[in-house]
Amino acid sequence: MSDSNPHLPKAHQSLSARLLVLTVAFVMLAELFIYTPSVARFRKSYLEERIVRAHLATLAIENMPEQATDDKLGKTLLMTTDTYAIALRQNDRRILIAGGEMPPRVDAVYDLRMNSFWGWIEDAFMTLTQQENRILRIVGETPKRPGVQVEIYMDEAPMRDEMLAFSHRIFQLSLAISLFTAGLLYISLMLMFVRPMRRITAGMERFRRAPEDETRIFKPSDRPDEIGIAQRELAVMQHELRLALRQKDRLAMLGAAVTKVNHDLRNSLATAMLIGDRLAASDDPDVQRLVPRMFRAMDRAVNLCGQTLDYASATMPTLNAKRNRLTEIVHMAGETLTQEHPDGGGKPFQWRNEVPDEICLMADAAQMLRVFENLGRNAREAGASSVRVTATEDADALIVEVIDDGPGMPEQATEHLFQPFAGSAREGGTGLGLVIAREVIHAHGGEIALAATGAEGTTFRLRLTPA
């Protein structure tokens, strides 16, 4: 895969590059935590070693009487231990070896018997940050002979130089470790994560270009991890999508066929209507009785063709969602329904809008209107004399109920609820009203369900998102 692929992020934006930088930063941070105590430890050992060396040097003259200490020996000892002076104290015995050039001042005193972790760290950083050489007086006990207190006077600068050299080594080592770790991480991430992700993206793209092509369905690996699961889910999704597309294609073809049938049927019906008109002129009472029934049957046939055609050819229009007051939509549906004349004539029909005025929702009002009209019309056609619409709202849902006092849904209808063409149990019904209602509600991110049905009536419940 080339880097010019528009679906690949730029090199510095890629996951692996970001992780590379993060790893280097984190390892360096971790190294800082290791470095701080170790540089303090380094300084402590340095000073302890000086004390031990100074003590060893004094052993040479320890047993001589103080006045016999010869000056030349003293100077040599001070030179080999890099100190200005050494003092030894044991009980009441005291030995002092001091060269001619005793330092004029002491800038700082450190006692190695101090037992504080943070104290050592602080002292180490004091040393590292010094610009000038300081003269230090170091007091300590030699491990060789407990109870003997040794004091030395020394320059700080050489110790600081060694500490800086130590820091430098640690820094280089840390950098090497972090680059090495980051490199390994980069490679494993590339192999385990980024490459499979790219493969998934490429698979999606390939499929998008020609979803009807079976061979383009993603071939998942059998990895047990999250990537493997994503791959398998993708394959399943593509498979199902392909089936759905094929189904849609079939419906579209059906739509085309229906259009043709519809056209021919209309012509036949037009001819039949002409003949019907001629027949209506007849004086025969039997003919007079039958002709209106024939016209009604033909009307229904035309209607059926029209509705089927609508459904087969219509793709779901894009929603034009606005903030609407629910009560207004319900009211409009009621107006339409009470003005329409139900099949078979003027049975009383009452539409009771019980939706509180303040309830609003984000919806395409024209589409929502169809939902309430379809539900209301079904109730009326089933023989209900009144339909109530209620709504309650809480923080995350708006529940709307359409409750009628009709005879309940027939078994045929409940068994094939929301299935196109299959759910109709009504003469002249297409079985599309509920299907369309559900499509609209789904497009709005809601749900519709049959909440109750029985001899005392039927209730459909809608769950919508409040605005």
Ligand X SMILES: Nc1ncnc2c1ncn2[C@@H]1O[C@H](COP(=O)(O)OP(=O)(O)OP(=O)(O)O)[C@@H](O)[C@H]1O
User: In the complex, which residues of this chain contact ligand X (CB under 6 A)?
Assistant: 307, 374, 378-379, 382, 404, 406, 408-410, 413, 423-426, 429-435, 458
Q: How far is the CB of 343 from ligand X (least distance, A)?
A: 10
CB under 5 to 8 A by kind: which of Mg ion, ligand X, none does 440 bind? none
Output 276 or 383, the one with its CB closest to ligand X: 383
Residue (of 392, 369, 321, 361) closest to 466 by Cα position: 361
Name which of 245 and 314 has its Cβ closer to ligand X.
Answer: 314
In the complex, least distance from residue 384 CB atom to ligand X, rounded to whole angstroms: 6
**Closest CB to ligand X among residues 37, 429:** 429
CB nearer ligand X, residue 16 or residue 374: 374
| Nearer to Mg ion among residue 189 and residue 413 (C-beta) | 413
Give the range of 72-80, 90-98, 147-155, 428-436 binding Mg ion by CB under 5 A.
428-436
Residue 315 near residue 443 (C-beta atoms within 8 A): no
For residue 459, the minimal CB distance to ligand X (Å) is: 9
Please state, as a whole number, how many other Cβ atoms lie within 10 Å of the Cβ of residue 455.
Answer: 7
Residue 130 binding result from Mg ion, ligand X, none, given CB thresholds of 5 to 8 Å by partner type: none
Residue 430, binding choice from Mg ion, ligand X, none, Cβ under 5 to 8 Å by partner class: ligand X
Supply the minimum distance, in Å, between the C-beta of residue 431 and Mg ion.
8
Question: Of 63-71, 213-221, 270-278, 374-382, which segment contacts Mg ion by CB under 5 A?
Answer: 374-382
Strands 108-111 and 135-141 come out as parallel
Q: Which does 74 bind (CB under 5 to 8 A by kind): ligand X, Mg ion, none?
A: none
Q: Counting contacts by CB under 5 A, is residue 433 touching Mg ion? A: yes
CB of 193 to ligand X, least distance (A): 49
State which residue, 197 or 301, has the beta carbon closest to ligand X.
301
**Structure tokens that stand for 284 in this block:** 């025969």
Q: 228 vs 429, which CB is nearer to ligand X?
A: 429
Sheet architecture: strand order including 447-454: 350-354, 386-393, 398-404, 457-464, 447-454
Name the minimum Å distance from CB 400 to ligand X.
Answer: 15
By rule CB under 5 A, what string of x and - marks binding of each residue 290-309 to Mg ion? --------------------
Applying CB under 5 A, the site for Mg ion has a residue count of 2
Q: Which residue, 227 or 330, is less far from ligand X as judged by CB?
A: 330
**Considering the rule CB under 5 A, would residue 378 count as an interface residue with Mg ion?**
yes
| Strand pairing category for 350-354 and 108-111 | unpaired
Instruction: Name the minimum Å distance from CB 313 to Mg ion.
Output: 19
Residue 466 touches which of ligand X, Mg ion, none (Cβ within 5-8 Å per kind): none
Neighbours of 384 (CB within 10 A): 21
* Closest distance of CB 429 from Mg ion, Å: 6
To the nearest whole angstrom, how small is the minimum distance from the Cβ of residue 360 to ligand X?
Answer: 26
Q: CA-to-CA distance for 82 and 95, rounded, in angstroms?
A: 18
Name which of 87 and 371 has its Cβ closer to ligand X: 371
Nearer to ligand X, 123 or 404 (CB): 404
**Could you say which of ligand X, Mg ion, none residue 379 binds, taking C-beta under 5 to 8 angstroms by partner kind?**
ligand X
Dist. CA 209–CA 4, nearest whole Å: 19
Stretch that binds Mg ion, among 95-103, 142-150, 340-348, 431-439 (CB under 5 A): 431-439
Question: Could you tell which of ligand X, Mg ion, none binds residue 174, using a CB distance below 5 to 8 A set by kind?
Answer: none
Distance in Å, CB of 434 to Mg ion, minimum: 7
Partner touching 413 among Mg ion, ligand X, none, CB below 5 to 8 Å by kind: ligand X
The CB density around residue 407, as the number of other CB atoms within 10 Å, is: 15
Measured distance CA(200)–CA(207) in Å, rounded = 11
Binding residues (CB under 5 A) for Mg ion: these are 378, 433
